[in-house]
Structure 1
Amino acid sequence: MKGNKRGKMLLACMVTITVLAGCSSTKSADSGGGKAQDASEATINPTGFPIMNESTTVSGFAAKFFANADWNNIRLWNDYEKKTNIHVKWDTVQTETLKEKRNLLLAGNDYPEMFYASAFSRSDLLKYGKQGAFLPLNDLIDKYAPNFKAMMDKYPIIAKGITMPDGNIYGLPTIYDPEFKSVLYGTPWVKQEWLDKLGLQQPETLDDFYNMLKAFKEKDPNGNNQKDEIAWGAVGTTGIVNYLRGSFGLNNHGTSNINVDTDPETGKLRFIPSDPRYKELLQFVSKLYKDGLIEQDIVSVKSTEVDSKGVQGLLGVSDSVDPVAIYNQKGYVGLSVLKGPHGDQQFSAYGSPLGNIGMFVLTDKAKHPEAMMRWVDYFYSDEGIKQFFMGWKDETYTEDASGNVDYTDEIKNNPNGLTLDQAVGQYLIWPGGYYPGFVKQKYFKGAEGMPTSVENAKKAESYVLSQDQIWPPFNFTQDEQSELTTIQTDIDAYVLEMKDKFITGNESFDNWDKYVAALEKMGVERYKAIYQSAAERYAKP
């Protein structure tokens, strides 16, 4: 299924759809269509507003964050009800209890017509879709979602990433605009003031990088006559390992399927954590750790401890968002992409523009699936995206003559002491990141949208994987998922455990072959074969 170009578009059929009393039908879960209208359905308009000519109530379940007001009284939904004639009766839970409550509803057959912001996994989408509890959305998208179809047409990775192996789409995703580079990638941040004081240039090679960190640690760049500088400050080793993956020629399809890519020599799928290049990467990071150039408690340190050092200006390099946003520390710039020992110079710590694909689901209890597809599709349009993220002109945001938008002072500097998320959350539901929709740079005011973050992404852009190289997280058949679940949990946990042990010296690299042999005993060859099948499906036109 392919869509049209971005933006709104009129449906081919301009007539009003009317349901005759006493007539109803359904399609099977494998048919690729949505549930047909039932006898009680009101008239649905295929384009324009209102969506329905009579006021209609729909049951919806969603996860929400503490920053959000009561969804049954929040401005976004109240105003949208007036626009659409669709009243959603919301049952919301906090994200901490989402999975438990969601699963209880499904197990007890007490689920709503719509799951929104419920973050279903790919395996659950397929499971409940095959059982018939979740409607296939293919036909509904074709007929009632012109905005979403336009995105699928422009960015084929969307259609491939949300289509299950049975050919059906059971959920709509969060999408990060592929043109919004700084929300998709960006290198770690280095303190330019320290580079200048020590007469250093941005590193270009691994040796340069090592020498820069060593100078930060030993040459008192903050000038207080104390060796209190943290050359690389972070929570966990993932940040530094991911930053260096491309310098060792790893993850040539990005990090959505973190442990696999394509072996450039054989063209077959490669299991990265047992590859010699990965060993070299860990050996380099281990050298940094041994020489005190990265946070010595990096495996166990709490975020509050790193934040405290960040606020004091003690971090030479930070692998989080721009330190000005979280530590109020100005003057950090993006690090260079480093050339590795084999000549590789690529930034591959780059995930798919697809976020969670189970953020909007219609169940077999939906009385008006066509209307609800139109309802959600609005938030994939430019007008809907602006409404969703910014709210109401001159009330929650201001707009200049060039069309640039920003939140009002009441939102940014709330007189009641609310944080930005809390102030926004009195009107809108996006704080926290759980929603189906399209994250667009023009309307996203988080740290990734800051000018410094945009510049950071530009610096890395010539070394970043191209869109057609990026893999989204793969979708597996039920049989594959069942088999994978029994081996993947143990393998992934072992890989993470041994990564940290090798880096910190708690495991000698002399035992690398034993580590690889243990992976083989755990079923890594079957793990690879399942991923190979998924990769081959993804590669098909």
Structure 2
Amino acid sequence: MKLKKWGGLLLTCVLSVSLAAGCGPNNPGGSKEGETPGETAANLNQTGFPIVNEPITVTGFAGKFFANADWNNIKLWKEYEKTTNIKVQWDTVHKDNLAEKRNLLLAGGDYPEMFYASAFPRADLLKYGKQGAFIPLNDLIDQYAPNFKALMEKYPIIEKGITMPDGNIYGLPTLYDPEFKSVLYGTPWVKSEWLTKLGLSEPQTLDDFYNMLKAFKENDPNGNGQKDEIAWGGVGAAGIVNYLRGSFGLNNHGTSNIYVDSDPESGKVRFIPTDPRYKELLQYVNKLYKDGLLEQDIMSVKSTEVDAKGVEGLLGVVDNVDPVAIYNQEGYVGLPVLKGPHGDQMYTATGSPLGNIGMFVLTDKAKHPEAMIRWMDYFYSDEGIRLFFMGWKDETYKEDADGNVDYVDEIKNNPDGLNLDQAVGQYLIWPGGYYPGFVTQKYFKGAEGLPTSVENAKKAEPHVIPQDKIWPPFNFTADEQSELTGIQTDITTYVDEMRDKFISGNESFDNWDQYVANLQKMGLDRYLAIYESAAERYNQ
């Protein structure tokens, strides 16, 4: 899915350790040293609050966004401690330093009972799970997480996506409500005022799209007598390529595994960047670039430079969220899904509702795993989601007679000049997009929830691939991951570099066969075989 920047407006997301006695895969969350099973059970309430009768303290590590206040004193956790009788002693690090810090903790063995908002990659979940540092959550979910369990039953992609090849679940994810369409997909935005001024209709085909961009560039739609308009404004070539993938019949399972989908003829896994349709796509984008219809420094331009042009109203098409949210520019509408040269008219630049699956992890040091899975499960309930994103009625949000909620004016128009991220971050920890939980349209107030964004998604929806066809990121066995790591980086780096070279004209399409041959030398056949195995497991 497209996760965007812009802070408060948006979503913006080890070594061998033996299991403690009595807490193995068949006994996840067993009693720890100094406890007896009876003591653990007696203190735990199966339902309701408090979660435990006698207060407990748990050590937790988390990545956080800069706008958040001290988590040991922030209102969300202080109030939740009162509700649950569970105090978390937080050790936090800015998300830019997250990977380094969490890896050091695991390598040194001095890691906490819980990792929260730590964004573990799938390979790490399996690695540390098999080594015993992370405990399996399967039985804990089944017994103590009714809200998350209900979501798994409603959306089977969740369980399939978070279950490792060894059958265990080692982490809980960020989830995006499949009904929240505008957070899962939305086409780029076009300046409708320019269409009207130039007498153009919204484009329906690739030729229409080309002609529209050309008119934006050449016909002075902003009326200032200068050719200062940027027809397509974006950072990097991925945006335009992703928008057009479905028009060339590519990525028929979405973009979570962006380089592979199913070959329409054989049904086997297809490597998209060597497919003739992908070549056609790049040739089309090369034409746009060569004719000056894209930002000419698109490969290297900085976001701040594009943003400056956006604020001035110089962008005909914006590859981001609604420009009203980021540039204060009204009047943009979602681009249509274009029909391609072979009749394809799909919107495939969408991922699964499953975000990072390593956002909540319990380690073998967890003394109260049953209590902590209940602690986390609350934030997959409607009440917990409201608390997490909105806070407290009449203090941080207001509610109208129809049940609609919005932040109070002190947060939306902070008297101290704080932006939304900073104002919300004095109470809550969601700004920055790093958390486990369930993102719903009702309680998420970022740009993807704007009425214009909802309309954009509705416009694209007839052409969006069905949810049951979308693949989440695949999980690989330890052996597969070990082998894949050795070849995947080289392949993907080369593919992205060559994409930019073909588009910019720095590489001739006459050298396409050599490009494909180079990928074969890098181990493409083995790469595809590993993905084929993962796809077969998923489809089972």
Q: What's the TM-score, normalizing by structure 1?
A: 0.94
Q: Secondary structure at the match of 1:89?
A: strand
* Cα-Cα RMSD: 0.8
The match for 2:231 is 231
Q: Distance in 2 between matches of 1:37 and 1:86?
A: 17
CA offsets 1:99-129 (integer angstroms, 9 cap, x no match) = 1111111111100000000000000000000
SS of the residue corresponding to residue 278 of structure 1 reads helix
What is the match of residue 129 of structure 1? 129
* 8 Å CA contact 2:161, 2:472 repeated in 1: yes
* Residue identity in the other structure for 1:282: L
2:192 and 2:254 mapped to 1: Cα distance?
A: 28
One-letter code aligned to 1:404: N
User: Unpaired segments of 5 or more residues in structure 2?
Assistant: 1-19
**Other-structure match for 2:70:** 70
**Pairing 1:161-310 to 2, within 5 Å after superposition:** 161-310=161-310
Match of 1:37 among 2, 11, 31: 31
- Is the Cα–Cα contact under 8 Å of residues 261 and 271 in structure 1 kept in the other structure? yes
Structure 1 residue 533 corresponds to structure 2 residue 533: yes
How many angstroms apart in 2 are the aligned matches of 1:503 and 1:191? 25
- Residue 34 of structure 1 and its aligned partner are, at CA, apart by 1.6
CA contact (8 A) 2:256 2:473 kept: yes
5 Å matches for 1:68-107?
Answer: 68-107=68-107
> Contact 1:25–1:35 (CA<8 Å) still a contact in 2?
no
Per-residue Cα deviation, 1:341-384 (whole angstroms, up to 9, x for no partner): 00000000001111100000000000000000000000000000
Question: Would you say how many aligned residue pairs link Structure 1 and Structure 2?
Answer: 515
- Secondary structure of the structure 2 residue equivalent to 1:402: coil
User: Is contact 2:23–2:364 with CA below 8 Å preserved after alignment?
Assistant: no
Aligned to 2:55: 55
1:26-56: CA deviation from partner (whole Å, max 9, x where unpaired): 2433x3x522123435510000100000010
Q: Is the 8 A contact 1:120 1:357 kept in 2?
A: yes
Output the CA distance in 2 between the equivalents of 1:117 and 1:334: 32
**Residue-by-residue CA offset, 1:125-180 (whole Å, 9 max, x unaligned):** 00000000000000000000000000000100000000000000000000010000
Query: 1:181, CA displacement in angstroms?
Result: 0.2
CA offset digits 1:264-319 (Å, max 9, x no partner): 01111100000000000000000000000010000000000000000000000011
Query: SS state of the match for residue 179, structure 2?
Result: coil
Aligned to 2:319: 319
Moved over 4 A (4+): none
**Aligned ranges for residues 439-458 of structure 1 at < 5 Å?**
439-458=439-458
- Partners of 1:383 and 1:501 lie apart in 2 by 50
* Structure 1 position 139 matched with structure 2 position 139: yes
CA distance in 2, matches of 1:200, 1:93: 50
Residue of structure 1 in register with 2:13 after alignment: none
CA distance in 2, matches of 1:511, 1:158: 42
User: 1:373, 1:215 → 2: CA distance?
Assistant: 57
Cα distance in 2 for partners of 1:26, 1:311 equals 60
AA of the residue aligned to 1:34? P
**Which SS does the other structure have where 1:61 is aligned?**
strand
Shift in Å at residue 409 of structure 1? 0.6
1:28 to 8, 24, 28: 24
Structure 1: how far apart are the matches of 2:322 and 2:84?
40
- 1:443 alignment partner, SS class: coil
* Alpha-carbon distance in 1 for matches of 2:348, 2:511: 28
User: Does the CA-based 8 Å contact 1:390-1:407 persist in structure 2?
Assistant: yes
Q: Distance in 2 between matches of 1:242 and 1:303?
A: 18
Question: Helix, strand or coil for the counterpart of 1:441?
Answer: coil
Structure 2 contact 380–438 (Cα < 8 Å) conserved: yes
Q: Deviation per CA, 1:214-260, whole angstroms, max 9, x where unpaired?
A: 01011111011100000000000011000000000000000000000
Q: Amino acid of the residue matched to residue 36 of structure 1?
A: G
SS in structure 2 at match of 1:442: coil
C-alpha distance in 1 between matches for 2:236 and 2:94: 26
Within 5 A, what are the aligned runs for 1:395-406? 395-406=395-406
Structure 1 counterpart of 2:508, one-letter code: S
**1:247–1:345: 8 Å Cα contact kept in structure 2?**
yes
Query: Identity across aligned pairs (percent)?
Result: 80
Residue by residue over 1:467-492, the C-alpha shift from the partner in whole angstroms, topping out at 9 and shown as x without a partner, is: 11000000000000000000000000
Residue aligning to 1:520? 520
Q: Secondary structure at the match of 2:190?
A: strand
Instruction: Give the counterpart letter for 1:422 in structure 2.
Output: Q
State the distance in 2 between where 1:304 and 1:110 align. Answer: 40
The equivalent residue for 1:158 is: 158
SS class of match (2:99)? helix
Indicate if the aligned counterparts of 2:337 and 2:346 stay in contact, CA closer than 8 A. Answer: yes
1:346–1:463 CA contact under 8 A, matched in 2: yes
Give CA-to-partner distance per residue, 1:172-207, whole Å, 9 cap, x none.
000010000000000000000000011111101000
Q: Secondary structure of 1:347's match?
A: coil
- After superposition, residues 431-470 of structure 1 pair within 5 angstroms as 431-470=431-470
1:275 and 1:56 map into 2 onto residues whose CA distance is 57
Shift of 1:262: 0.2
Give 1:526 deviation, angstroms.
0.4
Distance 1:488 1:177 in 2: 31
User: Which residue of structure 2 aligns with residue 342 of structure 1?
Assistant: 342
Question: Which residue identity lines up with residue 433 of structure 2 in the other structure?
Answer: G
SS of the residue corresponding to residue 501 of structure 1 reads: helix
Query: Within 5 A, what are the aligned runs for 1:363-512?
Result: 363-512=363-512
Residue type matched to 1:91 in 2?
D
Shift of 1:25: 5.7
Where 2:463 maps in the other structure, the secondary structure is: coil
Q: Which runs of 5+ in 1 are unaligned?
A: 1-23
SS in 1 for 2:194: helix
Q: Secondary structure at the match of 1:324?
A: helix
Q: TM-score, normalised on structure 2?
A: 0.95
Q: In structure 2, what is the Cα distance between the partners aligned to 1:100 and 1:511?
A: 40
Q: 2: CA distance between counterparts of 1:67 and 1:92?
A: 13
What amino acid maps onto 1:401 in structure 2?
A
Separation in 1 of the partners of 2:167 and 2:81?
33
CA distance in 1: counterparts of 2:237 and 2:160, whole angstroms: 31
Moved more, 33-42 or 210-219: 33-42
Partner of 1:329: 329
Structure 1 residue matching 2:366: 3-state secondary structure = coil
Aligned-partner Cα distance in 2 for 1:380–1:527? 36
Q: State the AA in 1 paired with 2:517.
A: A
Match of 1:21 in 2: none
Contact map agreement 2:23 2:31 (CA 8 A) in 1? no
User: For residue 10 of structure 2, what is the aligned residue in structure 1?
Assistant: none
Corresponding position of 1:4: none
